[in-house]
Structure 1
Amino acid sequence: MTRPIKVALLVDEYFGGAKTAFGGYGFLARHIVAKHLPNDEFEVEVLLKKTGAKLRYAPKCYMVDGIPVYHLASTPWDWNNRRFLRKKNYDVYLSIELTNRSFEIMAIEPDTSKPLLLWVQDPRPKADWEEIDTVELFAEDSYYHQPTYDFVHQAHQNGRVQFVTQAHFLTPKAKELYRLPADTPIPFLPNPIEIDRDFDVEQYPKKNQVIFLGRIESVKRGWLFCEIAKAMPELEFIVLGKSGRDQEANQKIMAPYYEIENLTFAGHVEGERKQQFLRDAKVLVNTSIHEALPVSFLEALEVGTLLVSCQNPDNLTERFGHYTGVVLGDGFDKVPLFVEGIRKLIDKEAERQVLAIEARQYILDTHSIEAFQRDMRAALKGIVKR
């Protein structure tokens, strides 16, 4: 029998697994790729580059949900990492975007012909960072890293890298960031979500609740959600998420909002508890200065929760909710635009219900686990050389 294809999944975090942080890439890696990609034909292992002050002299394995997750050695001991990669002899690398730490792993792979499938998730050319830099209340640290983008450019020229993308509007950004030819094929391979087939979007009794789902960080501008809650005391607002980096600075900004009576801070939520919040709410508000296509949008639409946002990835906000238009800077002066969008959806109940049904159907048609398994396995098989 032919042995399974060995896939090395590159990501910076693993949604709490192996002592890592919580974030969108980590959620996708742990709860989608590692959970649903493996079968008799595919094995998946996760590779994380060592960060932080504490040195690691050799790769260390954590078993998370039955999947091997490796923290590689610190940079001074990359010879140990090279020996590890040579012994593992992965058939293909799958990267959720390509961060500078994941690039460092690819750069030390002894076999420079090993293929990489780069799943375009959130490419950020300089113009995107210029928009992010308009936030003054709490600046977001830039992780723009030209050596990573140069590596992808050269590897693509050498035939080592191929691409798929989770959203159509990201394709031109990826081509700009990686300096790809205009005719470079980047097929659409949307992020999937786990769908509750028994959920009845037409009969479920939603509440007059508005939710925020995401990390409490500068780029998310959670303070705007709190200002919206202050302006709409007749509705219940719930923040789902907590600070990761820069907790003290984020806490200082958010603390004045803790006393708002119609605003609840639920903290980090997962599993059935998160699903309950998503099902109950009528509206998900996203106030970020920058987004790709967040998984939270897909999770909301799957249960008929509509969108109000200043981001409009692949026109989904405009199609299934209310798009405020671009909101730069700290955004305080644009709070009325969000208030208007929420009122427009909640005050027109019949129209909201129609949109909710259409939103769920879109998710069923486009973002299923089954479609992901079929398309991702085919894409990986297409570039494996053995």
Structure 2
Amino acid sequence: MKKIKVGLLVEEFYDKDLGGFGGYGILAREYIAKYIPNSEIEIEVIIGSNSKKEIKTIERDNTKIHYLPKNWSSKLDVDFIYLNMVKKFFKEQKFDLYLSIEMSKIAYEVMKREKNKKLILWVQDPRPKYDWEEIKSVPMSNEYDSYLNYYSKWEGRIQDLLQKLDREDRLVIISQGEYLKKKAIDLYKLPENKEIKYFPNPVVITENFKIENKKSSVLFLGRLTPVKRPWIYFELAKKFKDYTFYVCGQGTEIDEIIEKYKDVENLKFMGHVSGDEKDRLLKESKILVNTSIHEAIPVSFLEAISYGLKILSCQNPDDITKKNGYFTGTILGEGISELEEFEKGIRNCIENYKEEEILNSIKEIKDKHNLEKFISNMRDLIKNEL
């Protein structure tokens, strides 16, 4: 029996040699490519472009990764040879359908040329204009500039393409969050009654930590960039000197700000953490603090809850923060003027750190973001849509 051949359209694939350390890259490699293939389904990864004028194919853990040539979709006459090369590649590969994590440029370029294949679009973080207006309020952030200079230029074309695929019954949308469904419809200007299935991201749940081993420590997991507003977290550390505040993340955009906090004794800059070190910090910490101006449903929230942490955040996707910690309410701009609300949140999480509630939260994460359920549901989705 011929396997169903799925083309996974992504901009990155998590790999120490290839790069792509973002959440989408991790989702592509550590979950989709790793767990979905079986005797009926095969997954091959297609990445936007490499720096060479050729199609480059490599393998990682038995997964084929195809890098398309640079500027293959350009309208310049000199690049037609590469466009024809890519057209020949897709004709020979004979993918049965495509899966895209969010609507990336590569997904747009491939699907506008496909005449009868379906696209399963997994909505992760759709950002309508009103989300970008909130991001714009953060000083020093260049994310809004990147929206104006890049993303906004693609919006109209992507909307037209997805509307066309929808009319042709070739667009299947799934969403990692219930509240993201309306954002996707607003962003892509799809019919209000467009069916979008709830499809939560999976989380590998640890079973080997004990609540009694928790210490007086707090965790920040994320990029050190203006949009994450880590300076709020740094100020919190100065207010709660009896707690150790770990900073896990990298970034050079706010180096000057970080320098001002290097002498805060209970503030520990850990750099990028993963593996055993990340596991250790999650096991000993009690609170995950998220100060970002914008989030979808961060994997860090789900991981933290599964390790028995409370969440303190000004974001409340699908009521996760309210149910598992303290929601400050929406806080725009620099955020320092609302520091007292975060202080109140720290105290609330400390005073309400109760074993029964923690165990109930872990159980809910296990049920909703179960890996086995994700594997079964994704395989069924692929087979049914084909």
Instruction: Judge same fold: TM > 0.5, yes or no.
Output: yes
**Residues 23, 215 of structure 1: 8 Å contact kept:** no
Q: What are the superposed Cα offsets for residues 99-130 of structure 1, whole Å, 9 maximum, x if unpaired?
A: 2243223334xx32111100111111111101
Question: How many residue pairs end up in the alignment?
Answer: 370
CA separation of 1:139 and 1:253: change in aligned 2, threshold 3 A: farther
- 5+ long unaligned stretches in structure 2: 72-78
Task: Confirm or deny: 8 A CA contact 2:209 2:283 kept in the other structure.
Answer: no
CA distance in 1, matches of 2:225, 2:116: 39
Query: Counterpart of 1:234?
Result: 242
Decide whether the 8 Å contact of 1:18 with 1:62 is kept in 2: no
RMSD between superposed Cα atoms in Å: 1.6
Structure 1: 5+ residue stretches without partners: none
The residue aligned with 1:90 is 95
Per the alignment, residue 217 of structure 2 pairs with 209
Q: Secondary structure at the match of 1:123?
A: coil
Match of 2:208?
Answer: 199
TM-score by length of 2: 0.91
Partner residue in 2 for 1:316: 320
Alignment map for 1:331-346 (pairs within 5 Å): 331-346=335-350
Check the 8 A contact 2:48/2:105 in 1, yes or no. no
Question: 1:299-378, aligned counterparts within 5 Å?
Answer: 299-349=303-353, 352-378=354-380
Deviates more, 1:214-223 or 1:157-166: 214-223
What TM-score, normalized to structure 1?
A: 0.91
- Structure 2 CA distance for partners of 1:88 and 1:302, relative to 1, 3 Å: same
223, 226, 229: which is aligned to 1:218?
A: 226
Q: Secondary structure in 2 aligned to 1:78?
A: helix
Q: Could you tell me which residue of structure 1 aligns to residue 192 of structure 2? A: 182
Q: What SS class does the counterpart of residue 31 from structure 2 fall into?
A: helix
- CA distance 1:18–1:87, shift in 2 (3 Å): farther
Identity %: 38
- 1:131-170 to structure 2, matched below 5 A, reads 131-140=134-143, 141-142=146-147, 143-144=151-152, 145-146=154-155, 147-170=157-180
Deviations 1:176-228 (A, max 9, x none): 111111211111110001122x3355x44111111011122222122221122
1:122-133 map, 5 Å: 122-133=125-136
- SS of the residue aligned with 2:269? strand
When residues 178 and 44 of structure 1 are mapped into structure 2, their CA distance, relative to the original with a 3 A threshold, is same
- The AA in structure 1 aligned to 2:56 is K
The 1-side partners of 2:377 and 2:29 are apart by: 18
Instruction: Give a deviation string over 1:77-115, Cα, whole Å, max 9, x none.
Output: 22222211111111111111112243223334xx32111
Provide the secondary structure at the position in 2 that maps to 1:168: coil
Give the direction of change, closer, same or farther, for the CA distance of 1:342–1:375 in structure 2 (3 Å limit).
same
Match in the other structure for 2:76:
none
Paired residue type of 2:160: D
- Supply the AA of the counterpart residue of 2:10: V
CA contact (8 A) 1:120 1:164 kept: yes
Q: CA deviation at 1:18?
A: 5.3
SS of residue matched to 1:337: helix
Equivalent pair of 2:139/2:226 in contact (CA under 8 Å):
no
Which whole-Å CA distance do the structure 2 matches of 1:157 and 1:18 have between them? 41
CA contact (8 A) 2:98 2:119 kept: yes
Once residues 101 and 156 of structure 1 are traced to their aligned partners in structure 2, the CA distance between those partners, rounded to angstroms, is 18
Report the Cα distance in structure 2 between the residues aligned to 1:200 and 1:370, rounded to whole angstroms.
21
